Amino acid sequence: MLWETLSVVRDLPRLHEIATVMIRYGWGDLVRVLGISGVLERAGRILHWHHTSEISQLEAPVRIRRALEELGPTFIKLGQLLATRVDMFPPNWIVEFEKLHSQVPAVPYEVLRQELVEALGGEPAEIFAAFDPVPLAAASIAQVHRATLKDGTAVVVKIRRPGIEAVIRADLRILDHAARLIESEVPDFRRYDPVHIVSQFRRSLNRELDLAKEARNIDQFGRHFADDPLVTIPRVYWQHTSRLVNVQDEIIGTSGVAPEVLAAAGLDSRLLAARGADVVLRMVLEHGYFHADPHPGNVLFLPGNRIGMIDFGMVGMLTATRRNQIVDMLHALTLKDEQGLLRVLLDWNSESAIDEDRLAYDVAELLQSYDDLQLKDVKIGALLNDIAALMRENNLVLPADLTLLFKTLITLEGLGQQLDPGFHMVDHVTPFVERIIQQRYTPQALMSRGRKSLRDALEVLADLPRDLGHLLRDARRGRVRIDLDLKRLDHFGHQLDRASNRLTMGILTASLVIGSSIIMTVQAGPQLFGLPFFGLVGFLIAFFNSLWIIFSIWRSGKH
């Protein structure tokens, strides 16, 4: 707890900046709920509780988006993550979060040069035949420069921005404290598990900070599409790649979806839309490892109507079980199977208390609203948004590993429709789903599942006598227990533990003061500045203990 207190003190300047921005954009109530205002005012930092009339006239989603933009890279990335949470926010909020981008002014090459030299192990001129100091693109975490290897290969060099890690670490500490406060003090948000969202966000940012991780993602996708001549994935040059920099092939193609630009390049936009959809669906449904940000800037169109993909910092992963659930959901949607869709939604439910009858009614009503549409006219993106709304209304939370998938499928359909106004995502989903469903019931697949089920059953039967013996022995010894996970009780226990710690530290501090006072009257023993050494040490420890107790009480809002 002392470390947490010191962390808050260390982050006071950033806390003040965050609180000021949030208040200016009309989110002062959130600042009060999180206790930031109390901490800052006790630290002598005055907050100005007002915002301009111009800002007050903006809609809430616009105000939060502009606040996140002003707060910088970490909060922009947080907004981008929240844009994937279609189960938490209505469409107008998602639209605003999607406007967040990471384009920032580039860092001058002179500032980057020393870090680049250390990462490469030598001067750029020693590694590359040519290196362009003018960046090709700049984002919040890294920027990209063109270069040429000694053998003439055109590459791009992605370099992490100096000092970005320290900024992100401070923001993550603050977000972690905020998430814990929200979870304990705002019951309506508890079902969304804000602590887990911040944890997920931390993992995502750590992956993006580690440019070698992105390089490993590139290699993984390269292996998956090694046999597909229609898909181009850049090659990584590992001898020049590390956590701070990665070097990969430059893919030169047409970016954007303007029909006239694609036609001038000799490309067929309708064919590109179909191939792009098939590539991403193959990633999702066959590999379980997909590019989670397939927007026009990350998809390049190459001669021969080939697809090139870049920027693999954000990827999604699905287990075999989750892929089967996705296939079942898509199959139920295409067949308008109420029971099939209901089973999948119930499988996704973890701890939320739900009314199954109401959920079943809402599922039936949802599919009924699509009953008059032909299959080709069903828009997957709209349907997924409707499912997300249904989940919000029924107290269901979309599993974290599916939020990226929903967002990816919605983005993919939008990209396809920009390339081809007649594009129907469902036309591409249906063959994949039907093929996977058919593969489930081939004789080989049935035999394989049967052998696995039989093996699992035999293992359970074989272990049953031993497990029953352990249970009976523990019961005789009075060691059988039942664990109840009650969040509010846990919170009360945590608060009681904190109070006990403070009381114990207070008693120890008082004892130290008394003991040190007695020692100060004794002239024997080592001395420092003419005073008994051990007495001074005791007073010093008591002083720091007192600071800890004071800061601990301040943090809890008690006096």
Contact by Cβ (8 Å): 155, 149: yes
Q: Distance between alpha carbon 51 and the CA centroid of its chain, in Å? A: 30
- Cα separations (Å) of 264 from 257, 269, 303? 12, 11, 12
In 3D space, the residue among 172, 180, 174 whose CA is nearest the CA of residue 202 turns out to be 172
Contact by Cβ (8 Å): 278, 428: yes
Contact by Cβ (8 Å): 388, 86: yes
At 153 the three-state DSSP class reads: coil
Contact by Cβ (8 Å): 307, 230: yes
Contact by Cβ (8 Å): 554, 4: no
Q: What is the DSSP string of 221-275?
A: HHHHTTT-TTEE-PPB-GGG--SSEEEEEPPP-B-S--HHHHHHTT--HHHHHHH
Contact by Cβ (8 Å): 100, 76: yes
The stretches of 356-442 forming alpha helices (DSSP H) are 356-369, 380-393, 400-419, 425-440
Question: What does the alpha-carbon distance between residue 554 and residue 461 come to, in Å, rounded to a whole number?
Answer: 57
Local structure of residue 409 (DSSP, 8 states): H
Q: Distance between alpha carbon 233 and the CA centroid of its chain, in Å? A: 24
Which amino acid is present at 194?
P
Q: Is 312 exposed, middle or buried (0-12, 13-18, 19+ CB in 10 A)?
A: buried
Tokens of 91: 């469409």
Catalytic residue flag (residue 328): no
In 3D space, the residue among 547, 546, 516 whose CA is nearest the CA of residue 533 turns out to be 516
Q: What is the DSSP string of 272-291?
A: HHHHHHHHHHHIIIIISEEE
Q: What are the residues facing 157 on neighbouring strands?
A: 145, 247
Question: What does the alpha-carbon distance between residue 178 and residue 215 come to, in Å, rounded to a whole number?
Answer: 33
Local structure of residue 301 (DSSP, 8 states): E
Tokens of 498: 């904190």
Please tell me which residue in 11, 171, 249, 293 is annotated as part of the active site. 293
Neighbour-count burial for 474-506, b at 16+ CB within 10 Å, e otherwise: eeeeeeeeeeeeeeeeeeeeeeeeeeeebeebe
Catalytic site positions? 293
